[in-house]
């Protein structure tokens, strides 16, 4: 994940999100927590999905981004991107905003998971158009 472009990071996160969505007996999506264990079920957000799948976090542990110091800035960037805050995500990744939009609208996951993923994919298209 080192030196990953924002668009690729979001694509990875969406892939991991779809993986955890297919495991409802283990994971429940809750964008209010990173990776939190409650009675044999792990509640996770978009960044938490990356923690669970790509970074192989233990589903029985409650973790935050600090558990992954080398990827912490990327996980925190995902937390910003999931609410459309491009500028804040870029700050976490140390990328200048230049002339890009500082934000894009992203439908909250709890309102419409399908639209959330469409909006996030649209963000990746926008970023790719700008070589990011």
99-127, pLDDT tens digit by residue?
Answer: 999 999 999 999 999 999 999 999 999 99
Q: What percent of the chain has pLDDT over 70?
A: 100
The full set of domain ranges for the chain reads: 6-129
Does the pLDDT value for residue 3 go beyond 90? no
- pLDDT tier at 75, thresholds 50, 70, 90: very high
Does the pLDDT value for residue 1 go beyond 80? no
Query: What pLDDT is attached to residue 103?
Result: 93
Count of CB atoms situated within 10 Å of the CB of 38: 11
- The mean predicted confidence, pLDDT, of the chain is 95
pTM above 0.85, yes or no: yes
Count of CB atoms situated within 10 Å of the CB of 14: 18
- Express each pLDDT in 13-39 by its tens digit: 999 999 999 999 999 999 999 999 988
Half-sphere exposure of 102 (CA within 13 A, CB side): 2
């Amino acid at each position: 994940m080192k030196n990953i472009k924002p668009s690729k990071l979001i694509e990875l996160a969406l892939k991991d999100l779809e993986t955890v969505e297919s495991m409802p007996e283990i994971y429940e999506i809750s964008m209010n927590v990173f990776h939190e264990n409650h009675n044999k079920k792990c509640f996770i957000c978009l960044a938490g999905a990356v923690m669970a799948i790509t970074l192989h976090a233990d589903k029985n542990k409650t973790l935050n981004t600090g558990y992954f110091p080398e990827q912490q800035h990327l996980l925190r960037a995902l937390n910003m991107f999931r609410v459309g805050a491009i500028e804040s995500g870029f700050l976490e990744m140390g990328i200048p905003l230049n002339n890009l939009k500082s934000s894009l609208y992203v439908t909250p996951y709890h309102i419409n998971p399908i639209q959330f993923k469409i909006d996030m994919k649209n963000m990746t298209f926008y970023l790719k158009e700008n070589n990011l």
